[in-house]
Structure 1
Amino acid sequence: MDYKNMKFKVANGTDRGLCCGGCCRSDHQLNTYDWLADVVNDPDKTDLVEVQFKNTRKGYYHNVNNLQLTKGDTVAVEASPGHDIGVVTLTGRLVALQIKKANLKSADDIKRIYRLAKPVDLDKYEEAKSRENDTMIQSRQIAKDLGLKMKIGDVEYQGDGNKAIFYYIADERVDFRQLIKVLADTFHVRIEMKQIGARQEAGRIGGTGPCGRELCCATWNKNFVSVNTNAARFQDISLNPQKLAGMCGKLKCCLNYEVDNYVEAAKRMPSKEISLHTGDAEYFVFKTDILAGTVTYSTDKNLAANLVTISAERARTVIEMNRRGEKPDVLEEERHRKPADKPIDLLANADLSRFDKNKRPKRQNNNKQKADKREAAAPQNGQQPRKEQPRQREQQPERRKQKPQQRAQEGKNDNNANRPRRENQRRQGSQPGNGQQQK
């Protein structure tokens, strides 16, 4: 088969097409991976289809018209009254297993699929969906005026707009018979009330958890299991209500994810009530790392003193030795003992006079290099290398000690002494024959 020239089309809510290896759209929170999607001519194939609606609501229907349905198709299904619009999320043999998991014992709960959704159905569905937010806000005000201790968290309209489901939260039993009458007169639809918990509300609203990721209840977790503080105790987590509570105000569901591993690992750890006796002291359990399999012991029962960390196997070995009346010399194993670290002198190999060095030798080296270059170039030109004249600063070291007034007076005397010599040079230069024209 030539896969290079084949064009696959991912199914979505409006267009029909191939599905990616049993997967479905990422916005389907209750999506089930269909690992039998590539099975052709399955003898156990049924006409049952799983259809998902808004958020966490889904149902199971019979494909009585033998429609060619794939995951992602938008269909019109039977409802009471009228019809509803949903998306196909699962077909084939796995639907029967999902029905068994949902514990649907009555055959009346399984209705029919009418047809693939038409553009008219989709338009009516979008119109009903756009009224949900305003209906929720208005219904909250009505419940407040009636003095009911409840909170309406979400509203879901049926696909044809003839029915509305109100999801509410309440700590106590609420008599909402009067509320139903007022809502029916206000919105002119059939009213259905469903009570949900704080976890379901957080999943419907969504948000970001303390871990930085989207809430599990808003993405994939829809089967909520009770969480208690024992899960935090098994994992040695501090019983801080602010850290253990999630966005819903209840204990985090993720506390149950790894508790089984901690329970199994804790069985291999020594008891915290047993102390270890050695030749030099008695050690008490200070802390344990369950997953790493290490135990830290202290010589004081209430404080961290002379802490020693050993493996769980070593701790059990010492316990057996104590039961036989034996005491090891040290708590650690010989091969795991590390020599005591000696103090390190950071200035042992450092030169303390490195900051006192004079930087003048660098200039002398540069002068030497220049002199060497001139000496190397002198034989080529046939000239004698010019000797380096000592600096005037070095010839007259005593002049530095003189005062500024004395040095100024000496400069004037030198100019007066050299004035006749400069006049003679000027006269000789102005005579003809010296390369200048006579005026």
Structure 2
Amino acid sequence: MSHLIEVAFRGNRKEFFSWDGDAPPPLRAGVIVEADRGEDFGRVHATGELAEVRCAGCAHGCGTAPPPRKALRLATADDERLDRELTAENEQARRMSMERVKANGLVMKLTDAEWQWDRRKLTIYFTADRRVDFRGLVRDLAALFKSRIELKQIGVRDEAKRLGGVGRCGREYCSASWLPDLRPVNLGVAKDQKLSLNPQQISGACGRLMCCLRYEHEFYVQSRRRFPKEGKILLTTRGEEKVIACDIFNERVTLRTVDGDTRVVPLAELKGEMGGAEHS
């Protein structure tokens, strides 16, 4: 019987695999999986119904199609030891690669280096402001490490996801801890939430607008539909009043009369007054 499992690798990279057996492996168990022309080591991140839901909704999922690769077996103690050794070698590989970057005079920042578990491939992640011709660098690195080299350019948000860290809220980055996809965030979502439009105040450690602005946005959009628009003139039992502010959390609306008097009224009461004004 084949089971769908999601496997997590270094740098918060995740992929889906099929597992042949009576039952899926336990969560967090080390597994050896099929990889690009070889094998790789990862840990089980999700199984069963959760894996199926995530596979259908995540950017790295395969939808309703079966995964193209299989998880081969549970990792042994020797496999675990080799993985720990590779963790230390990854940083050494990044530093050695950075020296070759400087020697080639390339303007790029090497974010991370990741050995495939069988050492048949070394993937190097980098950021750059513009396109970089790294063909000469690849040849140098292939001769240096005696392995296949893949250079992968990523954005600054993907860099934060790979490296992890603590945000201004005091918790681990959403992108590194649980957020499945990095969706675009623009100033429009900050406007809808009545936040400061100063990018320094609403940006994360990566320098881009915070991811949390996006997944909170729908709540603000749905909530504001129940409120009158700010600046609109309403006809209430007290006459014409202008909407000054809407407090969606406390269900209150601030109004100002033509004489300049202001008042704060609950939303339910305001709707009753407007209904009464229409019939008076």
Q: Quickly name the TM-score band, shorter chain normalised.
A: 0.7 to 0.9
Residues 76, 83 of structure 1: 8 Å contact kept: yes
What is the aligned partner in structure 2 of residue 89 from structure 1? Answer: 45
- Please give the secondary structure, in 1, of the residue aligned with 2:124: strand
1:204 & 1:159 partners in 2: Cα distance? 18
1:110 partner letter: R
1:68 & 1:257 partners in 2: Cα distance? 31
Cα displacement (A) at 1:158: 1.3
CA deviations 1:120-148 (Å, max 9, x no partner) are 33333332221111221232232233233
Residues 276, 322 of structure 1: 8 Å contact kept: no
1:86 partner letter: G
Q: Which has the higher contact order (CA 8 A, sep 6+)?
A: 2
Residues 56, 222 of structure 1: 8 Å contact kept: no
What is the aligned partner in structure 1 of residue 69 from structure 2? Answer: 110
What is the aligned partner in structure 2 of residue 133 from structure 1? Answer: 91
Change (3 A) 1:116 1:179: same
2:264 partner letter: T
2:185 partner letter: V
The structure with the largest alpha-carbon Rg is 1
Change (3 A) 1:323 1:132: same
2:236 & 2:31 partners in 1: Cα distance? 75
Change (3 A) 1:152 1:269: same
1:273 partner letter: G
1:179 partner letter: L
- Please give the secondary structure, in 2, of the residue aligned with 1:55: helix
2:131 & 2:13 partners in 1: Cα distance? 23
Change (3 A) 1:175 1:296: same
Taking the TM superposition and a 5 Å limit, the aligned residue runs for 1:159-178 are 159-178=117-136
1:108 & 1:227 partners in 2: Cα distance? 30
1:245 partner letter: S
What is the aligned partner in structure 2 of residue 46 from structure 1? Answer: 2
2:30 to 38, 62, 74: 74
Work out whether 1:267 is the aligned partner of 2:225: yes
Taking the TM superposition and a 5 Å limit, the aligned residue runs for 1:186-265 are 186-265=144-223
Residues 166, 193 of structure 1: 8 Å contact kept: yes
**TM-score, with length taken from structure 2:** 0.83
Taking the TM superposition and a 5 Å limit, the aligned residue runs for 1:371-410 are none
- Unpaired segments ≥5 residues, structure 2: none
Identity rate, percent:
35
CA deviations 1:36-78 (Å, max 9, x no partner) are xxxxxxxxx5244433221322333344577873333222233
Cα displacement (A) at 1:93: 6.0
Work out whether 1:55 is the aligned partner of 2:14: no
2:150 partner letter: E
1:141 & 1:309 partners in 2: Cα distance? 64
1:181 partner letter: R
CA deviations 1:239-292 (Å, max 9, x no partner) are 121111111111111112332222222122123333357899864333221232
**TM-score, with length taken from structure 1:** 0.55
Cα displacement (A) at 1:169: 1.6
2:14 & 2:239 partners in 1: Cα distance? 65
- Please give the secondary structure, in 2, of the residue aligned with 1:291: coil
Deviates more, 1:227-236 or 1:275-284: 275-284
